[in-house]
Amino acid sequence: KIQKVTIYVDNKTASVKPFRHLYVFFFYDHSQCMTENGHVCSSETVNGGQNVFSCNESDVSSADHLVVMVNGILGSSADWKFAAEQFVKSLPDKVFVHRSERNAASQTLDGVDVMGERLSEEVLEVIKQKPNLRKISFVAHSVGGLVARYAIGRLYRPPQENTDNLSVENCEEAKPTIGGLIPVNFITVATPHLGSRGNKQVPFLFGLPALEKAAVLVIHWIFRRTGRHLFLTDNDEGKPPLLKRMLEDYDDCYFMSALRSFHRRVTYANVGYDHIVGWRTSSIRRNIELPKWQDSVDEKYPHVVYEERCKAFDFEPDSTNDDNTDDVEEELVTGLSRVSWEKVDVSFHNSRSRFAAHSVIQDLSVIPLSQPNGRVKKSNEFWRIGMDQRSD
């Protein structure tokens, strides 16, 4: 009886079939397996992720900006299909998009750190396969934003580690890199940066203290280790909760140095109708810092209701704040405020899709982004500005 066993070698699948006393290997190269949608091509990688790029050979050869897209809890690379194609259509000769698949479905319950390790390995594999890459950006949805923050901490290389190919005169010009690439944009969409504990951080609990306290006790039954990380109940070997550790460079993970190395950091947050992630935690704000907003007057981007550019502040947590902010939440806000952020607040209250705001905002993130002049620009203008300013 002939049996077939599949193994993976580099970027190829090897089908092994026994023939008499021999084993015959049939190699199938995934990099040559491409599907085309308009002028956008995609190919599946060994780990199941998708590379998305221009079908024009000259465009794909000149594209040197890797855009890594990361899904949220119970999600998959398919969640970013529309966004990936839009990026490539806008900048066919600039970007090479990778939709991560290393953490999909039930794998997203294994914990932020475990997922972060997987993602960092996946990114290095992509970089190895495309040696002409020079720049890197991340776009992450929901818990994927925390996973991306962990991964860049593992991928960070200090300036002194990037001087191998520089002359003595140019060593002073060495800059930090992410996986050997220049960090440009770090974008999170509906990401619970402050975790999910605390009043109204998980809106579907209706802000009821009893339900919120009960959630802390049972969340690990549903979302396992990831749930512990989100509610800061993890205590690995007596260490502080992971989200607190990620406020600084901890052990061999350069969490804050990596985040600071990006030219831009952007948060997208739903002001309402997101029943999974609250406005405060996704926009990294205290309750008293939540802005008053009104319907957008821009017909082109009606869902963007507020934009803000926040400078970096380096100060200690205010234990005497008059906002009744939880001490842990205050520590998280303060720690993440040590780097600058661009914050884009979104509302779907007039849309039929408002009850799916947590998912709908994912596609919106590829269209408008805040610019220095306060006006909303198209995504392709955003990427050009980001790349032009970090072209060195």
CA–CA distance, 198 with 213 (Å, rounded to integer) = 9
- Which CATH number fits the domain 34-389, given the four candidates 3.40.50.2300, 3.60.150.10, 3.40.140.10, 3.40.50.1820? 3.40.50.1820
Domains of the chain by residue range: 1-32, 34-389
Closest CA to 178 of 241, 52, 250, 263: 263
pLDDT for residue 334: 96
Q: What is the DSSP letter of 228?
A: H
Q: Using an 8 Å Cβ cutoff, are 234 and 317 in contact?
A: no
pLDDT for residue 20: 45
**Which two structure tokens, joined as six digits, stand for 308?**
């803000």
Q: Using an 8 Å Cβ cutoff, are 199 and 192 in contact?
A: no
Residues of the chain with pLDDT under 50: 1-17, 19-21, 25-32, 168-169, 172, 320, 368-392
Helices (H) and strands (E) in the chain, counts: 11, 19
**Residue 362 burial (CB < 10 Å; 0-12/13-18/19+)?**
buried
Q: Virtual CA dihedral for 383, 84, 27, 107, nearest 10 degrees?
A: 110
Strands (E), 108-239: 135-141, 156-157, 177-178, 182-189
pTM to 2 decimal places: 0.83
**Residue 185 burial (CB < 10 Å; 0-12/13-18/19+)?**
buried
pLDDT for residue 80: 93
pLDDT for residue 227: 93
pLDDT for residue 165: 58
For Cα atoms 268, 269, 271, give the angle at the middle one, nearest 5 degrees.
Answer: 145
